[in-house]
Structure 1
Amino acid sequence: MLTGVPDGRWGPTTVYEAGLRSAGGQLWMRRPDGRRDPLPVNRWRGTLSPAASTPPTWSTWSTGALSPGDLSLLRHCGGPTLDVGCGPGRLAAALAARGVPALGIDVAPFAVHLTRRAGVPALRRDVFGRVPAEGRWVALLLADGNIGIGGDPTRLLRRAGELLAPSGRVLVELEPPGTQTGPMRVRLEDATGRVSRPFSWCLVDGDDLTGIAPDAGLLITRTWCDAGRHFAALRRRLPTG
């Protein structure tokens, strides 16, 4: 039970989509103790207008719709990329504009709609379900905190490894050092005061990832910080013997 928060009557996807639709991009995550953390909806949306009739160019994405730190992440995408939890699709669209094949997947229909409107293929899929080109993705993005999907990052990273090509990389965004991390049951809240039903999530920082990666069959190959955001690249662990 979340302290001081009324029981939610809406599914998390409904409240999440309301945040994507809102003019100010207002959306919050309620922690189990009742604290309310603002979510960076405007960063997720970039500056691309949902009404845009043509896809942006790479230069447009580089200077406009991308957020600080995004480019340092996308430079690691050297081939077909799966954007897991793509949201409105700013990262997948930036890759496509650069000529890198990309596919976005998300469980929220409106997010998939926005990604397609940006000119990028997108599917309404759960990463733990059937995903096209399993075992052939050169890069897999878990940006914007999406390593928290499902509340079990070990299971999620293990699944990511299954989706990768043998030489592929999982690219993860992490919480800053000092963040209170770990699995938790959270809710989403929009600007109208609607609160979602609780769902499982997890916050992960670099220290957490060091312990999680081996259990997921992955090896951390690089960590870096750019524009105040923290990232890591991982690959499959090579079999010994």
Structure 2
Amino acid sequence: MVRALSAPAAAPAAWHADPYTDALRSGRGPLFLRRPDGWLLPLDVERWCAEPDLADRTVLRRCRGAVLDIGCGPGRLVAALAADGVAALGVDVSPEAVRRTRDWGGSALCRSVFDRLPGEGRWDTALLMDGNVGIGGDPAKLLDRIAQLVVADGLLMVETAPYEIDERLRVRVSGAHGAAGGDFPWARLGTAALLSCARPLGWRPAGRWTAAGRPFVALRRG
């Protein structure tokens, strides 16, 4: 069993916002990330709260060893890995996401990836699915942090944007009845932008594929 090394830090208020919690509880949207100018990025809550689909399975088949799912959401991937006998841990700043992950039979901590985590430097594979390369709004900082979490030749699976983009922005969580909570930094990267960011940090490409219109990149340390 994976045990916490320290008390979890307070989760960002945005992910305690009622629209996000309500969407996870109900298993459906609408849910968006909203930019100050009104632009909306739809979030696929229904898919997150369902069993892993065929595209997800292409990622799960490539996982090696112990797996850390960063921004695990309601835990479909962590639970699937656990059901297959794989040591896996999800981390998410949303208490509701962590609760759902545990209800599905997965292990999860309510914590930011930038907090102290169990097994630092010993994870074989890390996951950044569902746009989570945007966490913190600084992909280079995030990739550098993940390099501290995985083994020397660790693997990182990233789901990139379905088109070429390299964007830093501030957003807030928004539901059917508008936004709630404060805004926070986010990023969106296509495959080319991800590779350009990753190479100087010691990550090398280990695979690229697309499934159900969703692009994925495997990166390896070393």
Scaled by the length of structure 1, the TM-score of the pair is: 0.82
Tell me which of 103, 108, 121 is aligned to 1:135. Answer: 121
**Does 1:233 find its partner at 2:218?**
yes
The structure having more radius of gyration, on CA atoms, is 1
Superposition map of 1:178-193 within 5 A: 178=164, 180-193=165-178
Q: Which residue of 1 aligns with 2:57?
A: 71
Give the distance between the partners of 1:156 and 1:72, measured in 2 at CA: 23
CA contact (8 A) 1:109 1:124 kept: yes
Cα shift at 1:234: 0.7
Q: Which runs of 4+ in 1 moved over 6 A?
A: none
Q: Which residue of 2 aligns with 1:30?
A: 34
- Percent identity, please: 46
CA contact (8 A) 2:65 2:124 kept: yes
Gaps (5+ residues) in structure 1?
A: 1-9, 47-64
Q: Which residue of 1 aligns with 2:146?
A: 160
**Does 1:201 find its partner at 2:186?**
yes
Cα shift at 1:44: 0.8
Amino acid in structure 2 at the alignment position of 1:118: W
CA contact (8 A) 1:18 1:190 kept: no
Bigger CA drift: 193-202 or 222-231?
193-202
Cα-Cα RMSD = 1.6
Give the distance between the partners of 1:175 and 1:32, measured in 2 at CA: 21
Give the distance between the partners of 1:23 and 1:132, measured in 2 at CA: 29
Q: Which residue of 2 aligns with 1:39?
A: 43
Pair 1:140–1:181, CA change in 2 (3 A)? same
Gaps (5+ residues) in structure 2?
A: 1-11
CA contact (8 A) 1:80 1:101 kept: yes
Give the distance between the partners of 1:76 and 1:133, measured in 2 at CA: 21
- Secondary structure of the structure 2 residue equivalent to 1:148: helix
- Secondary structure of the structure 1 residue equivalent to 2:178: coil
CA contact (8 A) 1:151 1:202 kept: yes
CA contact (8 A) 1:161 1:170 kept: no
Superposition map of 1:6-155 within 5 A: 11-15=13-17, 16-22=20-26, 24-46=28-50, 65-155=51-141
Tell me which of 181, 198, 202 is aligned to 1:213. Answer: 198
Q: Which residue of 2 aligns with 1:49?
A: none
- Secondary structure of the structure 2 residue equivalent to 1:95: helix
Give the distance between the partners of 1:96 and 1:115, measured in 2 at CA: 11
Cα shift at 1:41: 0.5
Aligned length: 209
